Amino acid sequence: MNKKIKVGIAGCGHLGNFHIKNLIELQKERNDLEITGVYDLVTSKSNKINSKYNLKVFGSLDELFKNINAIIIVTPTTTHYEISKMAIEKDINTFIEKPVTDKVSEAFELLEYANSKNVKIQVGHIERYNPALLALEKININPLFIESHRLSEFNPRGTDVSVIQDIMIHDIDIILNLVKSKIESIEANGVAVITDKIDIANARIMFKNGCVANLTASRISQKKMRKMRIFQKNAYISIDFMKNQSEIFSMIDENDLSSNPEALLIGPFEYDNKKIKILYENKTVSNINPMKYELNKFFDSIVNDLKPEIDIESAVEAVEAAHLITDKINKSIIR
């Protein structure tokens, strides 16, 4: 793509503001990017953006679509399907905040429709670009058991969907990407406490390759927590998404000289008639802004005609799993 990327933003709420700030930074760094303007159904929100950043405000989506070739959709989840379909129909490259849609049927319809168009579509599963996870890119991860906890204090934002679609879906997406196996079965429990939708949930996902994942998500907790623990043969990996760092404990043979000499060694000691040692590594990637990073990846996919790393296919899988969990919980609730 030789022409300039003319990007528009649909949605000027809390999250939309973060996207706009990062887009302004990227516009200074990329000579192929131009922020064309913004649109929000609530005009006071878009006018506030205009006052703050001097960005053009469009009065309708149609008007916005006529002036752009890429869009960042940061509207409520319930509107993603309609706006995305309109954009894709007009051959506009589309970035959709997670989750891609709130209904499985709409997700599959959007996938089918997108496959018939020559546009780039990326979904904003931002935690894939968390420095703690990026630090593990060169690590061979083959999980046997995964445990995740994603707990948040209550915030009215995001309550148009359940805690599963709002918060747990981050971990669902990451786990599906790590395990790379079809789901065998799901067990789940949850309750609505403050809103009329599920506010706290636990799910146990069994995969066809034997891996088991246990996920807990809450949006009514006293303290925040975003952790994932991965257990695999001879290794334990702890990921802290809030601290942006990962720790790896691996069991190796005492005579193994291939390990990182700077890593902390515990041992050696004897186990199962072998002398082994425990290797400890603390991993992180510095100076990464995950939102800016994911937006940059989206624009790179447009310019270089590449498949986006977090494409609509993987996003649809996450939505489908989230809805399977939700259905399990809804069927177990005594009314």
Q: What is the mean pLDDT of residues 176-184?
A: 96
Q: Give the pLDDT score at 255.
A: 67
Q: Give the pLDDT score at 40.
A: 96
> Any idea what DSSP says for residue 166?
I
For the chain, what is the mean pLDDT? Answer: 91
Tokens of 48: 């506030």
What value, to the nearest 5°, has the Cα angle with vertex 126 and ends 99 and 148?
85
Give the three-class secondary structure for 190: strand
CA 327 – CA 188 distance, rounded (Å): 9
Domains of the chain with bracketed CATH: 5-128+290-310 (3.40.50.720), 142-287+322-332 (3.30.360.10)
158 pLDDT above the threshold of 80: no
Of the chain, the percentage scoring pLDDT greater than 70 comes to: 94
Q: Give the pLDDT score at 118.
A: 86
Q: Give the pLDDT score at 261.
A: 60
CA 165 – CA 211 distance, rounded (Å): 22
Is the model more confident about 155 or about 143? 143
334 pLDDT above the threshold of 70: no
Buried b / exposed e along 81-120 (16+ C-beta atoms within 10 A): bebbbbbbebebbbbbbbbbbbbbebbeebbebbeebebb
Q: Give the pLDDT score at 264.
A: 62
Q: What is the mean pLDDT of residues 213-231?
A: 96
Q: What is the mean pLDDT of residues 160-186?
A: 94
252 pLDDT above the threshold of 50: yes
Lowest mean pLDDT among 50-64, 68-82, 245-259: 245-259
Q: Give the pLDDT score at 335.
A: 46
Lowest mean pLDDT among 235-249, 265-279, 309-323: 265-279
Across 150-159, 194-203, 259-268, the highest mean pLDDT is recorded for 194-203
Residue 219 · residue 200 · CB < 8 Å = yes
Give tens-digit pLDDT for 223-244.
Answer: 999 999 999 999 999 999 999 9
pTM attached to this predicted model: 0.91
Q: Give the pLDDT score at 182.
A: 96
Of the chain, the percentage scoring pLDDT greater than 90 comes to: 76
